[in-house]
Structure 1
Amino acid sequence: MASRRSSREPSLLGICLCLLPFVLSCIQYFLLWLPADRPSLTSALVKALPVLSLAFFSWIQEAGSPSAPWVRLGLLLSALGDVCLVWPNGFIYGMASFAVAHVLYIWTFGLRPARLGLLPPVGLAFGAFYAFLLPHLPPALAVPVAGYMAILGLVVWRGLARGGRGRTLGALLFTLSDSVLTLDAFVSPVPAARAVVMTTYYAAQCFLALTVVEHGHPSPKAE
């Protein structure tokens, strides 16, 4: 028998109230603006708290969505990636955590409709960006970054193919965030990079979390 929590259709007011911890933790992050060059457990917690809040949101607002557990796990892995990226030597571990989170997001988007016509332009865009980035990457990161970008490209393909505000905007904003991050880290400083990266990143995760309450509650195996 379905629980009361999973049988109710979420209301707009309920969704907004459940997003309040996410909004407040985002405000806290930007108000504190802890120095990025002084890694600490406190800065890791402050950075990860908004995404952890979204994981909690996906639990209390899933309303029977079969994709909710996978979205939630993706959010938790993203929070782990946030923690890893606080420390410079944690970059590869953070990227791996996000890569697995993206695989889970792809699973929740499903593989139908395929819309294979979207693959060439998405692949061309990601391939061109990687070709531009490659000369600036440390040799040890060339293959991991290529793998990560391939997975992120699949997220964009599936997000555009399935449609819906949460999937489409989540995928595109995640791409924008990661693009600015890599340009700033490996090519040349980007003005206000951290603010742009974190704003688009938190927005992307919020849109992805909202897929659990989108109309129809698409299954990971949805046709």
Structure 2
Amino acid sequence: MVSPATVVKSEGPKLVPFFKATCVYFVLWLPTSSPSWFSALIKCLPIFCLWVFLLAHGFGFLGARSSARKILAGLIFSALGDAFLIWQEQGYFIHGILMFAVTHVLYSSAFGMRPLNASAGLVLSAVSSLSYLLLYPYLSGPFTYLVGVYVGLIGFMGWRAVAGLQLANDLWTWTKMSACLGAVLFMVSDLTIAVNKFCFPVPYSRFFIMATYYAAQMLIALSAVQCQDVTVARKRV
């Protein structure tokens, strides 16, 4: 099993641009009341840096691993979604939802359908259903259906990420742990967005939403990186 210290030493330097870009976003803290291409750039910059993080592992790495390519594609659609949400008050909120819906489909495909882990699926289904029941009384028009579909997609993505983490059988790796934590944080971030937009104002919502969102995307990007000990572990089985 690769130790956390080894992971930090190996992958940490490649994530420095991401951390710097995230700090720039929170330091500048551009007002959402005056959307602009500059504010869109600052918001998307950490995600751009995650593109670079994956590309820094080489085109051979991406060519050999379809899951990494799908996560990279998901990050691209995430950046588009981020840009649309800058102008959400101008009618582009639905466009943002659609971009992130595609992201969750790509992430789900990247995580795969094995192992199935039906118990995790039942738990995530319950969480998704309760989340939608909380939001439903506040929804109207097309959002009644769009939010329902979106909750289903992100719940499915969360299931596929959590399903891969088999702690009981000691088959987990740090990449699977990253996928699991990233998916859960993504769900928390998006639920906060929905509650804040449709239900009632959430204190410090923007800070909480963006902090959990950037952490989620970083962890999911990390999950695309193959551990050096996976091949060895498989040979021992």
User: Same fold judged by TM-score > 0.5?
Assistant: yes
What is the distance in 2 between the residues matched to 1:66 and 1:185?
35
For residue 214 of structure 1, report the CA deviation from its aligned partner.
3.9
Larger mean CA deviation between 161-170 and 200-209 belongs to 161-170
Distance 1:162 1:140, change over 3 A: same
Q: Please name the residue that 1:197 is paired with.
A: 209
Superimposed CA distance per residue, residues 64-89 of structure 1 (whole angstroms, 9 cap, x where no aligned partner): 54321111110010000000000021
Superimposed CA distance per residue, residues 152-200 of structure 1 (whole angstroms, 9 cap, x where no aligned partner): 0101111110122111001100001011111111111111000000000
What is the distance in 1 between the residues matched to 2:177 and 2:105?
19
Q: Please name the residue that 2:66 is paired with.
A: 66
What is the distance in 2 between the residues matched to 1:189 and 1:15?
37
Gaps of 5+ in 2: 1-5, 166-175, 232-237
> Are 1:166 and 2:162 counterparts?
no
For residue 14 of structure 1, report the CA deviation from its aligned partner.
4.4
Distance 1:37 1:138, change over 3 A: farther
Query: Quick one: percent identity of the two aligned structures?
Result: 37
Q: Please name the residue that 1:149 is paired with.
A: 151
What is the distance in 2 between the residues matched to 1:111 and 1:48?
30
> Are 1:138 and 2:140 counterparts?
yes
Amino acid at match of 2:77: L
What is the distance in 1 between the residues matched to 2:65 and 2:7?
15
Question: SS state of the match for residue 202, structure 2?
Answer: coil
What is the distance in 2 between the residues matched to 1:57 and 1:45?
18
Question: SS state of the match for residue 189, structure 1?
Answer: coil
Question: SS state of the match for residue 191, structure 1?
Answer: coil
> Are 1:44 and 2:55 counterparts?
no
Alpha carbons 1:78, 1:98 under 8 Å: kept: yes
Q: Please name the residue that 2:75 is paired with.
A: 75
Q: Please name the residue that 1:54 is paired with.
A: 50
Q: Please name the residue that 2:107 is paired with.
A: 105
What is the distance in 1 between the residues matched to 2:127 and 2:70?
28
What is the distance in 1 between the residues matched to 2:17 and 2:140?
38
Amino acid at match of 2:95: Y
Q: Please name the residue that 1:6 is paired with.
A: none
Amino acid at match of 1:116: A
For residue 120 of structure 1, report the CA deviation from its aligned partner.
1.9
Superimposed CA distance per residue, residues 83-102 of structure 1 (whole angstroms, 9 cap, x where no aligned partner): 00000211111111111011
What is the distance in 1 between the residues matched to 2:209 and 2:102?
20
Q: Please name the residue that 2:87 is paired with.
A: 87
> Are 1:210 and 2:222 counterparts?
yes
Give the aligned length.
208
Larger mean CA deviation between 117-126 and 200-209 belongs to 117-126
Superimposed CA distance per residue, residues 95-129 of structure 1 (whole angstroms, 9 cap, x where no aligned partner): 11111011110111010110112222211111111
What TM-score results when the alignment is normalised by the length of structure 2? 0.84
Q: Please name the residue that 1:117 is paired with.
A: 119
